Amino acid sequence: MCDNIVNNVRRFCRRLAYPKNYESMTKYEHADFTDDDTSIGSVHLTEGIGNSAIRYHTGSSMWHRRSLLEKSLLILVGTLLFVVIVLAFLLSSADKTIQESRIIDVESSNRGTTPCLTKSCVHIANIMLQSMDDSVDPCEDFYSYACNGWIKNNPIPEGKSTGDTFMKLIQENQLVIKHVLEQPIGNLKSKAEQKAKLYYESCLDVNDTIEELGAKPLVNLIKKLGGWNITNSNFNVSSWTLQNAMQILQNKYNIGALFSYLVGEDDRNSSRHILQIDQSGLTLPTRDHYLNKTKEHLKILKACLEYMTKVGVLLGGDHNETEKSMRAVLEFETQLANITTPDELRRDEESMYHLMTIAELQDKADFIDWRNFFWDALRKVKKEKLTDKEKVVVYAPQYLGNLSALIKRYENTTEGKIIINNYLVWQVVRTFTGCLSKAFRDAYKGLRKALIGSEGGEEPQWRYCVTDTNNMLGFAIGAIFVREVFHKDSKEQAEVMINEVRTAFKNNFKNLKWMDAETRKAAEIKADAVSDMIGYPDFVLDSNQLDEKFADLVIRVDTYFENNINLIQYTFRKNHEKLNEPVNRTTWSMPPYTVNAYYTPSKNQMVFPAGILQKPFYSSTYPPSLNFGAIGVVMGHELTHGFDDQGREYDKDGNLHKWWNNRTIEKFKERTQCVAQQYSRYKMNGKNLNGNNTLGENIADNGGLKAAYHAFLDLSKSKTEPPPLPGLNMTHKQLFFLAFAQVWCSSVTKEATMLQIEKDQHSPAKYRVIGSLSNLKEFSDVFQCKSGSPMNPKDKCEVW
């Protein structure tokens, strides 16, 4: 229920792809979350006209009584009505034929062709058919057409807030890891893997050590912090100083309170590491949860106060006094939220980068002694003394200046100092409650329910512990996963696909009239320079290298709480050792087991872990249409991140500077504004999406889809089209788009959707499909969507 082990200073990696899954968040993430059916209508219309005609002709007994003029008029009216009926029938038939042709394309292309009847083809065809809803016109709502069946067959699991194809694959991977971790320790090939097993077993707590200890581990930790006014822990306000408190929290336990910092790659000199500092420190996911006094937000604030109070009482506090103190902490956080800059206003990387000396930072924000603060963190890993001339990249100078003024107002009174310390210790408490007994974990249920619509079900403890172990010792687990599941040929075939997608992406540059020749050439060079890492880093299969990586990490089977502290301190130390050291461009940010992918702009590099190079994203037995529609689009997505509104500011070497022509930049921004406005018009549960906050991911979705589709077309030119999949009656061009859409089939609670809209930089799954497909002319051509239909709007947005 807390911050990531290494606090995120900002978004260094453009992740694939998918919205944060709030079910799979570890204890270090919980509190920081760091449709018209025209075919049916036309059938009914045809039947109605037919019945009217029959009724009219049965009324002929009065014919002999009519005059010649009446008979002539009736004949004329009848003739006209007959013509109307025939025309209506023909139009209806034509409309039905067009509707069918959207699904079948040119049906004769498959006529006489034996479908693929291999086990793999039959299996995947069955899955795709069960996920579809062919009663929906694909030109009206392709997401519903592709996913309604999946949503019907996969309701949100009890106690969960979401269910999707990613989670299904994650759960399959968990079974693989569980099987190996539960083998005798002697069967594991390295000491690092053995440490992963020990950590896993400490999490399982088969001897009930965690339950027996209860609050004791955290109570002891609070005493080491200097005490807490909320509990009886000998807090002495007269001897308290912010400097000492911050150095303990940030530098010993890596808690991102008030601000966060780390050692990262210098955006303007990507070959070296540098200190970086940014805004941070809120318990709730966004500043809006504090500042927007809507009914939903007030409900969340109330649940948060109840959660904080429950935890304080479990640690020994009096209920009334604890609630009063926690209310003051929330008020302090509200003032922090007020000076925090919204995410959508932090997208210009160049304007956010501020290189300062420590002396200049001291002038900007003097609420602590920065040189002593940083030296306290670095003295164990650096021999040379830190000076005032040491450089720091500051991403939020205005925030730090305002924070300094806020802190000084509170420090003027004894009560204010107590509130600041209560806030700081609360940040530690919320970080470690997930390592304590069930009573502490249950305390979070109310806030969880308010945030994501689910209290959480009785998930098997082993699943939580596999996920937890992966987050803490992911590369040790990665060795196990790669040996058990990943095939070497998948890595080689993925490399081929990446280069095919890259070629298609570059070939499209010549069609972009908004780019000048010089910028186009530089963009081609950057695209060629994007490096890729696939599957896993080589060291995970080398026992000696793996053991060396975790050599100074101590893990014991019966000390889950201490294991977590050891891991936090180990990770913190490893991060700070990199200061002023050259950047290793082969390091990974995601372990192999992860079902995701990412792009790092400062390395101009994209990474595809082994976890995502599996069905349904990829299989060597799938036809190319399915592979390119799924993992191919993921590859294109990550590649396009190098050219989104943020990634395009970094050159081929990963350095942040201006390398585009001014006129081209202006035209690029006009096109990105179109995308931002398009997605801002979409609504979920009555709330508009934030097209500015999701801009980079939306650009990547659109560009990745286009690049992957054209890579598939280029490949198809040199190969005979594979036989169709059984039962689908779709061409492989259509299957490409169906495979793409079905990756995003999901069921989500209303609350989790609202949280995603407010916090996540990815659009909800439905609009990741609809938004990108409706901008792609080739999709409308394949499904013969009329101009002006929902999936083929006359006005489209195109960047890449």
Rounded Cα gap, residues 648 and 660, in angstroms: 9
Beta bridge partners of 392: 275, 356
pLDDT at residue 182 is higher than 70: yes
Residue 78 CA to chain centroid, in angstroms?
63
> Residue 1: which of 301, 428, 571, 288 has the closest Cα?
428
pLDDT at residue 255 is higher than 80: yes
**Residue 204 — very low, low, confident or very high, per pLDDT cuts 50/70/90?**
very high
Rounded Cα gap, residues 90 and 87, in angstroms: 5
Are the beta carbons of 168 and 21 closer than 8 angstroms?
Answer: no
Residue written as tokens 């000396």?
A: 357
Rounded Cα gap, residues 373 and 597, in angstroms: 35
Neighbours of 406 (CB within 10 A): 18
State the pLDDT at residue 574. 93
In terms of C-beta distances under 8 Å and separation of at least 24 residues, what long-range contacts does 484-490 make, across chains too? Answer: 484/176, 484/179, 484/180, 485/173, 485/176, 485/610, 485/614, 486/535, 486/536, 486/592, 486/610, 486/613, 487/620, 489/620, 490/535, 490/610, 490/613, 490/618, 490/620
> Residue 110: which of 589, 599, 670, 725 has the closest Cα?
725
CA angle 24, 27, 33 (to 5 degrees): 70
Are the beta carbons of 535 and 490 closer than 8 angstroms?
Answer: yes
pLDDT at residue 202 is higher than 70: yes
Are the beta carbons of 175 and 166 closer than 8 angstroms?
Answer: no
Residue written as tokens 């005979």?
A: 720
**Residue 19 — very low, low, confident or very high, per pLDDT cuts 50/70/90?**
very low
Amino acid of residue 110: N
Q: What is the pLDDT of residues 520-559, one digit of tens each?
A: 999 999 999 999 999 999 999 899 999 999 999 999 999 9
pLDDT at residue 40 is higher than 60: no
Would you call 287 helix, strand, or coil by DSSP?
coil
Span 634-645, average pLDDT? 96
Beta bridge partners of 788: none
Are the beta carbons of 312 and 231 closer than 8 angstroms?
Answer: yes
Span 438-465, average pLDDT? 88
| Burial status of residue 244 (CB atoms within 10 A of its CB: 0-12, 13-18, 19 or more) | middle
- Comparing 33-37, 116-120, 498-502, 718-722, the range with the smallest average pLDDT is 33-37
pLDDT at residue 17 is higher than 80: no
Helix (H), strand (E) at residue 784: none
Span 169-190, average pLDDT? 90
Are the beta carbons of 790 and 720 closer than 8 angstroms?
Answer: no
> Residue 530: which of 505, 509, 511, 510 has the closest Cα?
505
State the pLDDT at residue 479. 86
Q: What is the pLDDT of residues 750-785, one digit of tens each?
A: 999 999 999 999 999 999 999 999 999 999 999 999
H helices within 459-530, ranges in order? 461-484, 488-507, 517-529
> Residue 182: which of 424, 463, 393 has the closest Cα?
463
- Check if 649 is active-site: no
**Residue 5 — very low, low, confident or very high, per pLDDT cuts 50/70/90?**
very low
Give whole-number Cα distances, 243 to 184, 240, 248, 250, 413, in Å.
Answer: 47, 9, 9, 11, 17
Q: Average model confidence (pLDDT) for the chain?
A: 85
Q: What is the pLDDT of residues 383-412, one digit of tens each?
A: 688 899 999 999 999 999 999 999 999 999
Mind spelling out the 3-state secondary structure of 320-384?
A: HHHHHHHHHHHHHHHHHHHHCCCHHHCCCHHHHCEEEEHHHHHHHCCCCCHHHHHHHHHCCCCCC
Alpha carbons within 13 angstroms on the beta-carbon side of residue 241 total: 7
Q: What is the pLDDT of residues 261-298, one digit of tens each?
A: 999 999 999 999 999 999 999 999 999 999 998 999 99
State the pLDDT at residue 39. 20
> Residue 258: which of 417, 403, 374 has the closest Cα?
403
Backbone angles phi, psi at 345, to 5 degrees: -95, 10
| Percentage of the chain exceeding pLDDT 90 | 72
pLDDT at residue 82 is higher than 70: no
Q: What is the pLDDT of residues 321-337, one digit of tens each?
A: 999 999 999 999 999 99
Fold exhibited by the domain 215-436: Neutral endopeptidase; domain 2 (1.10.1380)
pLDDT at residue 57 is higher than 80: no
**Residue 456 — very low, low, confident or very high, per pLDDT cuts 50/70/90?**
confident
Give the domain ranges of the chain: 38-104, 116-158+487-537+606-800, 215-436
Rounded Cα gap, residues 216 and 505, in angstroms: 57
**Residue 159 — very low, low, confident or very high, per pLDDT cuts 50/70/90?**
confident
**Residue 457 — very low, low, confident or very high, per pLDDT cuts 50/70/90?**
low
For residue 544 the two structure tokens come to 């000696």
- Comparing 154-168, 246-260, 667-681, the range with the smallest average pLDDT is 154-168
Are the beta carbons of 260 and 575 closer than 8 angstroms?
Answer: no
Question: Which of the two residues, 20 and 712, has the higher pLDDT score?
Answer: 712
Please identify which of the residues 201, 701, 751, 760 carries the catalytic annotation. 701
Residue written as tokens 């999701």?
A: 694
pLDDT at residue 33 is higher than 50: no
| Percentage of the chain exceeding pLDDT 70 | 86
> Residue 734: which of 632, 631, 625 has the closest Cα?
625
Backbone angles phi, psi at 14, to 5 degrees: -90, 105
Are the beta carbons of 18 and 701 closer than 8 angstroms?
Answer: no
Please identify which of the residues 23, 266, 323, 638 carries the catalytic annotation. 638
Beta bridge partners of 600: 605
Q: What is the pLDDT of residues 578-606, one digit of tens each?
A: 998 999 999 998 999 899 999 999 999 99
Q: What is the DSSP string of 168-236?
A: HHHHHHHHHHHHHHTS-GGGSSSHHHHHHHHHHHHHHTTT-HHHHHTTHHHHHHHHHTT--TTTTS---
Span 709-728, average pLDDT? 92
Question: Which of the two residues, 46 and 519, has the higher pLDDT score?
Answer: 519
CA-based R_g, the chain, Å: 30
- Comparing 78-92, 568-582, 677-691, the range with the smallest average pLDDT is 78-92
pTM more than 0.75: yes
State the pLDDT at residue 98. 42
Q: Which CATH number fits domain 116-158+487-537+606-800: 3.40.390.10, 3.40.50.620, 3.40.1080.10, 3.40.630.40?
A: 3.40.390.10
Rounded Cα gap, residues 237 and 84, in angstroms: 91
- Check if 778 is active-site: no
For residue 793 the two structure tokens come to 């709007």
Who contacts 434 (Cβ-Cβ below 8 Å, separation ≥6)? Answer: 1, 2, 26, 27, 28, 30, 440, 441
Rounded Cα gap, residues 757 and 752, in angstroms: 9
Rounded Cα gap, residues 225 and 242, in angstroms: 12
